[in-house]
């Protein structure tokens, strides 16, 4: 199974990235610091995707973003051949954007498709480990090879698919997901996943859609994203732990850029001290 890893990303730019982490919105960063933090995170995520070595890596960036800046950033950090392609998001909503990225890869399941499966990730998940991405690919291959998967694939217009239907996803800390992958023979679309009239979480909506179509589903460990000050506070102890664990586990990929940037700013997380009751 040929895999495509698609990173959804905004081109780093002050005022465009992680604004909910800025002081003017209750956080601690300036707009420039928020941009630099996001850029460090994005590069760390790309690093993990490349290290996983389980699919071609793409970036789908915001339509009004500076492609030249993004291209040069990636080229200077990883080399010209590290990524398969960088392409703009032409969707008008988050649902449409993610669907556009999938369609860009699958090309309606034709023989011209760029991959048999697509895995979508966010650029704000710096603790993503290559092992998690590898596990997602392995699990999707397994569930998409079952008889149920090939039965489900018959609900599409694809004739004699090489692999069956299947979805693999992570969970995040707020009822969403930060990794989702599925095969080109899966009867699934992102319509209504993020924007629906019933207030259903993105994670629940995927579950409902999968159940409706009897799509085999698998899950991997939580991958937290960093949107809010509380997420940032939770991130720092994780980074500190990874830094120590890396000394004893060579499979860990340390998000060095994110870690070093926060260390340079001198940011630490503290917990309230509980009073001792006799």
Extents of the domains making up the chain = 3-265
The predicted-structure confidence for 30-51, as pLDDT tens digits, reads as follows 999 999 999 999 999 999 999 9
Cα–Cα dist 260/264, whole Å: 6
Comparing 43 with 203, which gets the higher pLDDT?
A: 43
Cα–Cα dist 125/135, whole Å: 17
- pLDDT greater than 80 at residue 278: no
The predicted-structure confidence for 82-119, as pLDDT tens digits, reads as follows 999 999 999 888 899 999 999 999 999 999 999 999 99
pLDDT confidence bin for 183, thresholds 50/70/90:
very high
Is there a contact between 63 and 9 (Cβ–Cβ < 8 Å)? no
- pLDDT averaged over every residue in the chain: 93
pLDDT at 276: 54
3-state secondary structure of 37: helix
Q: How far apart are the first and last CA of the chain?
A: 63
The predicted-structure confidence for 158-182, as pLDDT tens digits, reads as follows 989 999 999 999 988 777 889 999 9
Other Cβ atoms closer than 10 A to 125: 23
- pLDDT greater than 80 at residue 270: no
pLDDT at 274: 60
Backbone angles phi, psi at 6, to 5 degrees: -110, 120
pLDDT confidence bin for 273, thresholds 50/70/90:
low
The predicted-structure confidence for 5-16, as pLDDT tens digits, reads as follows 999 999 999 999
- pLDDT greater than 60 at residue 277: no
Cα–Cα dist 187/176, whole Å: 20
3-state secondary structure of 219: strand
pLDDT at 22: 96
Arch. (CATH architecture) of 3-265: Alpha-Beta Complex (3.90)
Instruction: Find the mean pLDDT for residues 251-258.
Output: 95
pLDDT at 166: 98
Cα–Cα dist 128/130, whole Å: 7
pLDDT at 104: 97
- pLDDT greater than 60 at residue 275: no
pTM attached to this predicted model: 0.93
Other Cβ atoms closer than 10 A to 204: 15
């Amino acid at each position: 199974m040929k895999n495509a890893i698609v990173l959804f990303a905004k081109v780093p730019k002050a005022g465009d990235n992680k604004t909910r982490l800025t002081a003017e919105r209750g956080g601690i960063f300036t707009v420039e610091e928020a941009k630099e933090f996001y850029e460090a995170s994005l590069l760390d995520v790309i690093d993990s995707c490349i290290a996983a070595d389980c699919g071609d890596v793409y970036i789908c960036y915001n339509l009004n973003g500076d492609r030249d800046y993004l291209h040069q950033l990636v080229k200077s950090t990883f080399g010209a051949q590290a990524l398969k392609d960088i392409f703009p998001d032409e969707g008008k909503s988050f649902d449409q954007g993610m669907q556009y990225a999938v369609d860009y890869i699958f090309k309606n399941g034709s023989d011209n498709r760029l991959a048999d499966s697509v895995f979508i990730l966010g650029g704000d998940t710096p603790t993503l480990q290559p092992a998690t991405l590898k596990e997602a690919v392995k699990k999707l291959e397994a569930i998409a090879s079952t008889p149920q998967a090939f039965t489900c694939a018959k609900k599409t217009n694809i004739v004699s698919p090489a692999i069956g239907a299947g979805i693999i996803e992570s969970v995040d800390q707020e009822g969403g997901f930060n990794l989702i992958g599925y095969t080109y023979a899966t009867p699934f679309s992102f319509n209504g996943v993020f924007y629906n009239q019933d207030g259903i979480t993105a994670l629940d909506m995927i579950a409902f859609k999968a159940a409706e179509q009897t799509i085999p589903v698998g899950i991997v460990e939580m991958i937290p994203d960093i949107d809010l000050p509380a997420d940032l506070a939770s991130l720092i102890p994780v980074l500190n732990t990874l830094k120590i664990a890396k000394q004893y586990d060579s499979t860990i990929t340390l998000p060095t850029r994110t870690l070093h940037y926060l260390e340079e700013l001198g940011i630490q997380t503290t917990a309230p001290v509980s009073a001792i009751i006799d």
